Amino acid sequence: MELPQESINKLRKLAEGSDGGITYEELEKEYIEFFNDKFVQEDESFIDDASRHDYTLMRTLAQFKKRPPVSPHSVIPIGVDSVRKDQTTGIKRTSLFVLDSKSGKNRRLSLQGDICDVVKDISFNCLYENVMLSKFRDSNDLSADDRAVFKNPISIDTKAEDLVESLGLKTVNIKEAQDDENHSRVDAKGWPIKTDWYAIRGIIRSIRRSKEDAESEWGSYKIFDRTVDPTAEPTIDAKGNKHYPGMSLWIAPMLMQYPVYSDCIFLGTIGKNPKTNEVSMNCYSVLPIHVEHEEE
């Protein structure tokens, strides 16, 4: 399909002014899809192709939103946060954690809106090549929108211990995790830096899941290791909840694939709740060691 010269000029100017946020080819594709829409082709309000092109150009320009420039990245998803819906805006948000194939570093990939649904089909510990992502100006974090396509994952055979070593993570037990020196660094607001991970190996003692609504959910594991006194009395918090010996891990429900008494390595940030002084982990990745699967 050949576009009118005026439409070509307008689309080229828009692409050039987007700072790499969108290409002419992408705009042209949208334009052609709009032009061939049943409404544009069949509605009696359009008297000829000239009126159809005029409407299509205005619609293409009106739909454009300036977006940050993107570039191809080869990444290996290694962890994920819970999907949460902002109570004020209603927008869904989550984070993927990806291993940058070039630097070998753990990077946070921020997702918001409908793109959050991609985490449901992500294959972890697999290489995705040429994913179009943008980079935050003031950090090492990445961001994704509908230009990011995760397809054709390449399986990578990596042992749990090898992944921990490649990430350069410090491994601590539950007793050592109580020490401030083994807590994740915090940002200016006092929140743990989401990529400052530790590794803890333990056995799952109990499992909890909860949904705040249809699109916000969370889960938790209570884990136990040989440094925990099994005879210690449970504590009761201000809300009357009973806490048994061990360590609490807050975790995305989609990662809760392992039953009670599974022996795993848990990766994530460690911090202390300033109100309760309880030390816990925000767990973003689970590496199974010994798992007894139920017989079907």
- Decide which of 157, 181, 201 is a domain's last residue: 157
The DSSP-derived string for 84-146 is EE-TTT--EEEEEEEEETTT--EEEEEEEGGGGGGGGG--TTEEEEEEEEEE-TTSS-EE--T
- pLDDT tens-place string over residues 135-165: 887 788 999 988 899 999 999 888 888 889 9
pLDDT for the residue 215: 61
- Decide which of 157, 192, 218 is a domain's last residue: 157
- pLDDT tens-place string over residues 30-41: 999 999 999 999
Task: Assign residue 289 a region (left: φ > 0; alpha: ψ between -120 and 50; beta: otherwise).
Answer: alpha
pLDDT band at 241 (very low <50, low <70, confident <90, very high): confident
- E strand map for the chain: 71-80, 84-85, 92-100, 106-112, 126-135, 142-143, 154-155, 170-172, 198-211, 217-224, 235-236, 242-243, 247-251, 263-272, 279-290
Both 57 and 85 in a single domain?
A: no
φ, ψ (nearest 5 deg) of residue 165: -70, -40
Both 277 and 175 in a single domain?
A: yes
- pLDDT tens-place string over residues 48-107: 999 999 999 999 998 776 677 888 999 999 999 998 888 778 889 999 999 988 888 899
Query: Which range marks the domain in which residue 10 is found?
Result: 5-63
Q: Is the pLDDT of residue 205 over 90?
A: yes
pLDDT for the residue 296: 57
Does some domain include residue 148? yes
Both 59 and 93 in a single domain?
A: no
pLDDT band at 211 (very low <50, low <70, confident <90, very high): low
Distance CA 271, CA 79 (A): 18
Q: How many domains does the chain have?
A: 3
